[in-house]
Structure 1
């Protein structure tokens, strides 16, 4: 399975900053030691034209040219640097590359991404550009040129925080179905309405979470027939997460991933994953969750390939 990484471009963060950027390097290094079914590639940078499919010209220019105001930088949570801008472009490029690969091979992944708090005209909550939104728009444009038909997209957002930026970008757009399952009392405290929102109470554990997920996947199936899905497989519902407030175990999160991947594969829906959030008290717990997610995705990719070979 193809997986795209962008951790070579680091953020110039002050000591003690809450954002655990080293998790991306640790994840890549794990798969360098134990690649399994993964074929890792460095992510390309998204072009300005690609970013403009979602983001406003003024906001793009402020990020790329380094003119973000102090207030804008505070809302994003990162100080501006050339590396921050390049990292943000490559995070989007990774989701674009993963989406193309998913359409060709069934499953692919961005080893970062899931920057769902970014709006068209601003960043927020450690999110600069909205990688999934840009990739969705670009895949729709490429599909329309190649097939002269519309590509329906589904966004399955299981980060513990609601995907407010994605919901706002695709508001009133029936070509993209947005589903977010998240902590009711967690950031963002002002939610944007998705097509389907499932709010979870603090302390929600494996059984209640998986029951809610099963019901939601039935509803997604009833309301949407996508040709491509984006899955934000956040590690932050884990019980050891600093910011999550839920109580899922490793086993519960693995079962979450299996159910999503199986539901999509059984319907023949290609899926591009992104890792989204993860803020473990012990960062090794976040990386371990993400390793499992990627290995399960690779198993699903292999099942896609074997199925295609058997019917070819």
Structure 2
């Protein structure tokens, strides 16, 4: 059973003209149901996360500034969203959704969150459209609950997972692997456990070969209890915030390869969607939908 986290609050409306396409979450769910990839019973609706798990990863000062809406204008600009209580509530639901996906993945092999991948959030501040770091929160939850002893974050968004790298820089039980465009945001990178910085316009064949060179070996050497996979589709050549050159087909092959490797290794995988900013919304939806199609193909 493919379990997918989705909540109506994912549809949060930003001011008209904002470049972050929040509508994609709702449209993706509709598309997956329309084409028969998923049915209503595949979806579950996460609740807001308990504060104790936020504070396990994020500083109290930062969390209080979000919760009480006292965050400075400068800090809010760094995040990139106009702040509101509803936006903070949305982030709490997303974080719990990723935890729930981890638990479902341990039962079913794979589970996906139609949001998340907020890898630019640090312990003490947010940036890059990220308030709370859902993967970091979920990883700490699994470790603290004794549900995992070794976790592998596979971050294939076009942007480096700088917040995740910094949060776990001294945590050997969480291995951060980021494959990203070298010249893209963030312009001051953190040090992941393994960073693969890719040249501008790298296209299908070379990209997939690099992934094949590293992922199977990581799974074999680390033997993680779970993989947290950030499947950003801003690697597409059409993406206005990316610098790589992948086709839709290669992006789908990337997802299929990750799922196949994890299944072969017997490692459950929890997925968050990450970025996607192609000018035509249909390309974003199609690319994200391919992740679900590949999950169904591999795990059905």
State if a TM-score over 0.5 links the two structures.
yes
Aligned length: 297
What's the counterpart of residue 97 of structure 1?
100
Q: Output aligned runs, 1:177-192, within 5 Å.
A: 177-192=175-190
Determine whether 1:118 maps to 2:121: yes
The Cα offsets for residues 248-305 of structure 1, whole Å up to 9 and x where unpaired, read as 0111011111111111110100000111000011011011001010111123332xxx
CA distance in 1, matches of 2:36, 2:3: 11
Contact (CA 8 Å) 1:204, 1:246: kept in 2 or not? Answer: yes
Partners of 1:10 and 1:87 within 8 A in 2: no
| Partner in structure 2 of residue 22 of structure 1 | 23
Residue of structure 2 equivalent to 1:8: 9
Q: 1:9 offset after TM fit, Å?
A: 4.8
For 1:221, the equivalent position in structure 2 comes to 219
Question: Structure 1's 9 and 203: CA in aligned 2 closer, same or farther, altered over 3 A?
Answer: closer
Distance 1:12 1:79 in 2: 11
- Aligned partner of residue 217 in structure 1, secondary structure: helix
Structure 2 gap ranges (5+):
none
Match of 1:287? 285
C-alpha RMSD of matched pairs (Å)? 1.4
2:167 paired residue number:
169
Partner in structure 2 of residue 268 of structure 1? 266
**Separation in 1, partners of 2:21, 2:170:** 34
Q: Find the aligned partners of 1:50 and 1:35 in 2 and give their Cα distance.
A: 35
Cα 1:10–1:70 change in 2 (3 A) is: farther
Q: Within 1, Cα distance between the matches of 2:188 and 2:274?
A: 20
Change (3 A) 1:231 1:77: same
3-state SS of paired residue (1:36): coil
Q: Distance in 2 between matches of 1:81 and 1:169?
A: 25
**Deviation at residue 47 of structure 1 after TM alignment:** 1.0
Counterpart secondary structure, 2:146: helix
Classify the secondary structure of the residue corresponding to 1:122. coil
Q: Does 1:131 align with 2:159?
A: no
Match of 1:143 among 146, 151, 161: 146
1:212 aligns with 210
Q: Give the secondary structure class of the aligned counterpart of 1:3.
A: strand
Q: Is the 8 A contact 1:279 1:286 kept in 2?
A: yes
8 Å Cα contact 1:92/1:113 also seen in 2: yes
Partner of 1:32: 33
Matched, 1:88 2:86: no
Paired with 1:281 and 1:9, the residues of 2 have a C-alpha distance of 20
* 1:153 to 2:151 alignment: yes
How big is the shift at 1:221? 2.9
- d(CA) in 2 for partners of 1:52, 1:26: 32
CA shift digits 1:35-63 (9 cap, x unpaired): 42450122221110111110111111111
1:52 match: 55
Offset, 1:12: 5.1
Secondary structure of 1:156's partner?
A: strand
